[in-house]
Structure 1
Amino acid sequence: MTDPVPPGEKRSVNRPGARRVPTPADVLAAAQSAVDAAQSAAGQALEAAQLTAGQAFDTAVRLPPASAQLAAQLPDLLDNLSTAIDRLNATVDRLDRTLALADPAFVAYDRLLVRLEALISLGEDLFGALSRLPGVGRLGRMAGIVTPDLPAEPEPEPPRKRSRRKS
């Protein structure tokens, strides 16, 4: 039970279940279309490669040797910088831990410094009071103690001799 096709009409391709066998002309047209598309893609790729290579060459020609050398060393410089930053971070962490351990000592030093300042002030007051006693400056000089803060006692002036005139 086949459907008869009226004479002069071709079978419809859009019929469900109908398969069309390509003719050699169809295969040749598809192959030619594929070759054209491949040639077009290859031409575009070749133009893009030539443009990129031309720009790279222009850049390389215009680039001074020192800049090219610097650009070549850039990856190593970045690696070294990364290593230095890692070391710096480790050092900062170590310093943080050390300061956290030393914090109680700093608090004790702060308390001790206040007491030492008070003791020094008391010593200065004592020297000031002793310097006002008569004879302490002379006693210090005789003992060989030189204290620049203490006021020196004035040396007594020798008595003047009076000359007697005979009239």
Structure 2
Amino acid sequence: MTTPKGPDDEGTTARAPGARIRPADLLAAATAAVEAAQSAAGQALESAQLTAGHAFDAAVRLPPASAQLAAQLPGLIDNLTIAVDRLNSTIDRLDRTLALADPAFAAYDRLLPRLEAVIALGEDVFGALARLPGVSILGRVTGIGAKSGQAEPPPPAAPKRRR
């Protein structure tokens, strides 16, 4: 084989610096480069053929259900992408709605303790009124006791006559 330095003979020596390049040396270097390129291309082609053969063998051995699932995978990914986009837009919409409702929630937070205090005061007033003498009779006459959730006792049943 030849190299850029010349033929591989024992009698040849390396070129001296500053020596002129001969056309034969250039031709030998070009030939060596072409042979190396052809060898690399052949190896790459063999590797690609081997990989394609393994891929084909794997594809042939796949069960039909797996092949069908693999065929549906791009559509499923598209649907998942659409669902995630919708979820993101819904979350954004909910965030904007809650931001608008935040002042109302703050007002409710300030108002609820006052309402609870008013309700507790009303229950205390009804409790105090119930202890006054004569109010229970007034409640039964007016029917207020039945409306407020107190169960009114049923009227006594008429006695049955026996013979």
Do they superpose with TM above 0.5?
A: yes
Check conservation: 1:137, 1:152, Cα contact below 8 A.
Answer: no
Moved more, 41-50 or 142-151: 142-151
Which residue number in structure 2 is paired with residue 116 of structure 1? 115
**Separation of aligned partners in 1, 2:63 and 2:140:** 79
Which residue number in structure 1 is paired with residue 139 of structure 2? 140
**Separation of aligned partners in 2, 1:85 and 1:52:** 36
For residues 129-153 of structure 1, the C-alpha deviation after alignment (integer angstroms, 9 at most, x for no partner) is: 1211233333323333315765979
**CA apart distance, 1:52:** 0.9
* Cα distance change of structure 1 residues 29 and 117 upon mapping to structure 2, 3 Å threshold: closer
**Separation of aligned partners in 1, 2:113 and 2:51:** 75
Which residue number in structure 2 is paired with residue 97 of structure 1? 96
SS at match of 2:132: coil
Report matched runs for 1:63-78 at 5 Å: 63-78=62-77
**Separation of aligned partners in 2, 1:128 and 1:55:** 89
Which residue number in structure 2 is paired with residue 5 of structure 1? none
Q: Which runs of 5+ in 1 are unaligned?
A: 1-12, 156-167
**Separation of aligned partners in 2, 1:64 and 1:19:** 64
**Separation of aligned partners in 1, 2:49 and 2:101:** 67
Q: Which protein shows a greater Rg?
A: 1
Percent identical residues: 68
**CA apart distance, 1:35:** 6.6
Check conservation: 1:128, 1:150, Cα contact below 8 A.
Answer: no
For residues 100-123 of structure 1, the C-alpha deviation after alignment (integer angstroms, 9 at most, x for no partner) is: 222211111112111111111111
The count of aligned residue pairs is: 142
Which residue number in structure 2 is paired with residue 126 of structure 1? 125
Letter of the 1:104 partner, please give it. Answer: P
Normalising by structure 2, we get a TM-score of 0.62
Q: How well do the aligned residues superpose, as a CA RMSD in angstroms?
A: 3.7
Letter of the 1:126 partner, please give it. Answer: V
Moved more, 115-124 or 139-148: 139-148
**Separation of aligned partners in 1, 2:24 and 2:140:** 131
**CA apart distance, 1:125:** 1.0
* Cα distance change of structure 1 residues 29 and 123 upon mapping to structure 2, 3 Å threshold: closer
**Separation of aligned partners in 1, 2:87 and 2:110:** 33
Normalising by structure 1, we get a TM-score of 0.61
**CA apart distance, 1:126:** 1.4
